[in-house]
Amino acid sequence: MGVFLYPVVTIKQATEVELNDIAPLFNAYRVFYRQTSNETAASDFIKNRFVKKDAIIFQLM
């Protein structure tokens, strides 16, 4: 039987610092659900969630 190597994955809570990484993913989610692509609106939405502290977003590194 061969040896299987699993990559090390780090999960961290995202902050406003990662906003530019998260916004395109959220925009793609919106587009998947047939919303108009608007990365600025996606970024504003996520930023507002961080400011209001009403969402926790985890990021795989």
pLDDT tens, residue by residue, 4-55: 787 888 999 999 999 999 999 999 999 999 999 999 999 999 999 999 999 9
**pTM for the structure as a whole:** 0.74
Per-residue confidence band for 61, with pLDDT thresholds at 50, 70 and 90: confident
Dump the DSSP string for 11-61: EEE--GGGHHHHHHHHHHHHHHTTPPP-HHHHHHHHHHHHHHT----EEE-
State the pLDDT at residue 1.
Answer: 60
